[in-house]
Structure 1
Amino acid sequence: MPEGAEKRLFIALALLVAILVAGTVMYKVLTGDHYDWMTCLYMTVITLGTVGYGEVIDTSLFPGVRMFTVVLILSGMAIIGYSFSTVTSIMVEMDLGGAFKRRKMNKDISKLRNHFIVCGSGATGTCIVQELLKTATRFVIVERDHARLETLQKLDELLYVEGDATDDDVLLKAGIKHASGLAAALSTEKDNLFLTLTARQLNPSIRIVARGLDENVDQKLRKAGANAVVSPTHIGGLRMASELIRPSVVSFLDTMLRESASTIRFEELHIQAGSRFINHTIKSTKLRDDSNLLVVALKRPDSPGFVYNPSADTVLSEGSTLVLLGESKQIHELRDYSRSTI
Structure 2
Amino acid sequence: MKTTNAFYKHLMSGVSFMIPFVVAGGILIAISFAFGYTAFQDKELFFGVPYYLMQIGGGSGAFGLMVPILSGYIAFSIADRPGLAPGMVGGLVAGSIGAGFLGGMVAGFLAGYVVLGIRKVIVLPKSLAGIMPVLVIPVLSTLIVGFSLYYVLGAPVTFINKAISDFLTSLSGGSAILLGLILGTMMAFDMGGPVNKAAYAFGTATLVLGQGSAVMAAVMAGGMVPPLGIGLATLAFKKKFSEDQREAGKAALVLGASFITEGAIPFAAADPARVLPSIMVGGALAGAISMALGCTLAVPHGGVFVFFAVENILGYVIAVVAGSLATAALLGVLKKDVE
Structure 1 and Structure 2 fold alike (TM over 0.5): no
Rg larger in structure:
1
Q: Please indicate the TM-score interval, normalised by the length of the shorter structure.
A: under 0.3
Give the helix-richer structure, 1 or 2: 2
Give the TM-score, by structure 2 length: 0.25
Higher relative contact order (CA 8 A, sep 6+): 2
* Structure with the larger strand share: 1
